[in-house]
Amino acid sequence: MLEIKNVSKTYGQGTAKIVALSNVSFRVNEGEFIAIMGPSGSGKSTLLNVIGGLDYPSSGEVILDGKRIDKLDENDFVDIRRNKIAYVFQQYHLLPSLTALENVMLPPDLLWIG
Amino acid sequence: MVENPRGEYLERTDQALVGATAAELLELNVGDKIALNGREVIVVGILEEAGSNEDYQVFLHIKMVQEAFDKEGLVSSIDVRALCSACPTSDIAGSINGNIPGVRAVAVKQIAETEMGMMEKVSKFLLALAGITLAVGCFGVVNTMLTSVHERIRDIGIMRAVGASRNQMIKVFVYEALIIGIVGGFLGYVVGTLLAYIIGPLIFSDVAVTYVPQYFLPALALATFIAVIATVYPAFRASKIKIADSFRSL
In terms of pTM, does the model score above 0.90? Answer: no
pLDDT at B137: 84
* Mean pLDDT along residues B72-95: 76
Task: Give the per-residue pLDDT at A4.
Answer: 93
Query: Distance (Å, rounded) from C-alpha A104 to C-alpha A94?
Result: 9
Query: Which residues lie across from A19 on neighbouring strands?
Result: A10
**pLDDT tens string A40-99:** 888 898 898 888 888 889 999 999 998 898 888 888 888 888 888 888 887 778 888 899
Greater model confidence, A66 or B3 = A66
Q: How many C-beta atoms surround the C-beta of residue B168 within 10 A?
A: 16
Residues of chain B in contact with residue A71, where contact means CB-CB under 8 angstroms, are: none
Q: Do B165 and A75 touch (CB under 8 A)?
A: yes
| Distance separating alpha carbons of residues A24 and A7, to the nearest angstrom | 5
Please answer yes or no on whether B163 and A54 come within 8 Å at the CB atom: no
Find the range with the poorest average confidence among A90-94, B65-69, B112-116, B121-125. B112-116
Which percentage of chain B shows pLDDT scores above 90?
Answer: 8
Q: What letter would DSSP give residue A60? A: E
Asked whether residue B79 carries a pLDDT value surpassing 70, the answer given is yes
**Cα–Cα distance measured from residue B34 to residue B44, given in angstroms and rounded to the nearest whole number:** 11
Give the number of other Cβ atoms within 10 Å of residue B230's Cβ. Answer: 24
pLDDT > 50? residue B178: yes
Domains and CATH numbers, chain A: 2-87 (3.40.50.300)
Interface test with B, best of A18, A55, A70, A104 (most B CBs within 10 A): A55
Q: Which residues contact B50 (CB under 8 A, 6 or more apart)?
A: B2, B3, B19, B20
Listing DSSP states for B194-237 in one string gives HHHHHHHHHHSTTPPPPP-GGGHHHHHHHHHHHHHHHHHHHHHH
pLDDT band at B206 (very low <50, low <70, confident <90, very high): low
- Tell me the domains of chain B and their CATH numbers: 6-76 (2.40.40), 79-106 (no CATH), 113-248 (no CATH)
Q: ipTM score here?
A: 0.82
